């Protein structure tokens, strides 16, 4: 951890900065996997909305 001291003696701590790296464009199989996960998320959300509407109609 990087620490400095000012004129009045107060300490100021700085967090260690992470190493930078460049992102890469996702490969074809990664893109397909993202699309599959998005489809599952949409399906899950639709089921949850249907269940909530059905439960609210019963009451």
Contact 1, 14 (CB under 8 A): yes
Q: Is residue 3 part of a domain?
A: no
Residue 31 CA: distances (Å) to CA of 21, 38, 39, 57: 21, 11, 12, 39
Which has more pLDDT, 54 or 58? 54
In a domain, 10, yes or no: no
* 23 or 5, higher pLDDT: 23
Could you report the per-residue pLDDT of 11-50, keeping only the tens digit for each?
A: 887 777 789 999 999 999 999 999 999 999 999 999 999 9
- The DSSP string of 7-57 is TT--EEEEPPPPPP----PPPHHHHHHHHHHHHHHHHHHHHHHHHHHHHHH
Residue 31's domain comprises: 22-59
Does the pLDDT of residue 1 top 80, yes or no? Answer: no
Residue 1 in domain? no
Q: What is the pLDDT of residue 59?
A: 59
Between 57 and 24, the more confident residue is 24
In a domain, 42, yes or no: yes
Domain assignment present for residue 29? The answer is: yes
In the prediction, which pLDDT does 13 show?
79
């Amino acid at each position: 951890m990087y620490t400095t001291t000012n004129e009045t003696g107060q300490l100021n701590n700085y967090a260690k900065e992470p190493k930078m790296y460049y992102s890469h464009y996702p490969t074809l199989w990664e893109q397909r996997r993202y699309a599959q996960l998005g489809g599952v998320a949409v399906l899950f959300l639709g089921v949850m909305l249907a269940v909530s509407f059905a439960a609210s109609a019963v009451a």
